[in-house]
């Protein structure tokens, strides 16, 4: 992953992890994120609408930082890249998917939660990693334990992170940013409650940028 993209994600501090069930929600959601100070999204491939959602968001907001999440194989990498995703996030570390992303020249952030996986990532030339599922894997204590021996590694913790603990994660050196769903909860997106999402996004931005 380019240092430029890492610095961009680091600047946002919080990365909204988004599940789109209806493509008509994509552009209003992107608009809400952009207008409330968080022009970034990781759109998960958990739904069939993800690819089209990324395409619509990219067309509406070309400068927005958009990634694809829960990407499990090369076919999904191709679809995400063609739709306009600029980075790929996976829940785990699949060397085949990592190598494919490297061949396709698209940034990849695989998920890890133990030393063996960190070493596998380092062997593949990756140092910016998703720590997932963060809270279930030991949270802050586990991250500190992993960062100690691996001095070149930085993390994007995701999973179980909300406004109550996000600042504690971000206070750790080499935790560059955190993925979260609390400001873009699926129920709020489903209901089209853009005002409430906007309020939660503003609150999140203020929380992590005191």
pLDDT of residue 205: 98
Q: Where are the beta strands (DSSP E) in 135-190?
A: 154-157, 178-180
Active site residue 42: yes
pLDDT of residue 92: 98
Q: Which of 13, 51, 81, 130 is catalytic?
A: 130
pLDDT of residue 210: 82
| Distance of alpha carbon 75 from the chain centroid | 19
pLDDT per residue rounded down to tens, the chain (210 residues): 899 999 999 999 999 999 999 999 999 999 999 999 999 999 999 999 999 999 999 999 999 999 999 999 999 999 999 999 999 999 999 999 999 999 999 999 999 999 999 999 999 999 999 999 999 999 999 999 999 999 999 999 999 999 999 999 999 999 999 999 999 999 999 999 999 999 999 999 999 998
* Distance separating alpha carbons of residues 113 and 5, to the nearest angstrom: 23
- Alpha-helical (H) ranges within 40-181 are 50-60, 74-83, 95-103, 115-123, 139-147, 166-170
Domains, in order of start, for the chain: 3-204 (3.20.20.70)
* Distance separating alpha carbons of residues 82 and 95, to the nearest angstrom: 21
With tokens 């919080």, the residue in question is 14
Active site residue 163: no
Q: Which of 13, 42, 49, 81 is catalytic?
A: 42
């Amino acid at each position: 992953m380019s240092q430029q993209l890492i610095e961009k994600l680091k600047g946002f501090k919080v990365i909204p992890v988004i599940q789109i069930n209806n493509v008509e929600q994509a552009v209003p959601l992107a608009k809400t994120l952009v207008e409330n100070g968080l022009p970034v999204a990781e759109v998960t491939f958990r739904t069939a609408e993800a690819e089209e959602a990324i395409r619509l968001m990219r067309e509406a907001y070309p400068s927005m930082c958009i990634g694809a999440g829960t990407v499990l194989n090369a076919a999904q990498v191709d679809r995400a890249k063609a739709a306009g995703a600029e980075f790929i996030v996976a829940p785990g570390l699949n060397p085949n998917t990592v190598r494919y992303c490297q061949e396709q020249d698209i940034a990849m952030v695989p998920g890890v939660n133990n030393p063996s996986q960190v070493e596998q990532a380092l062997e593949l030339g990756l140092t910016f990693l998703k720590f997932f599922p963060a809270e279930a894997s030991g949270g802050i204590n586990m991250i500190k334990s992993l960062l100690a021996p691996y001095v070149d590694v930085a993390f994007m913790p995701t999973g179980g992170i909300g406004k109550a603990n996000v600042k504690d994660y971000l206070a750790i050196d080499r935790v560059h940013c955190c993925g979260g769903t609390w400001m873009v909860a699926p129920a709020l997106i489903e209901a089209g409650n853009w005002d409430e999402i906007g309020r939660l996004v503003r609150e999140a931005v203020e929380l992590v940028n005191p």
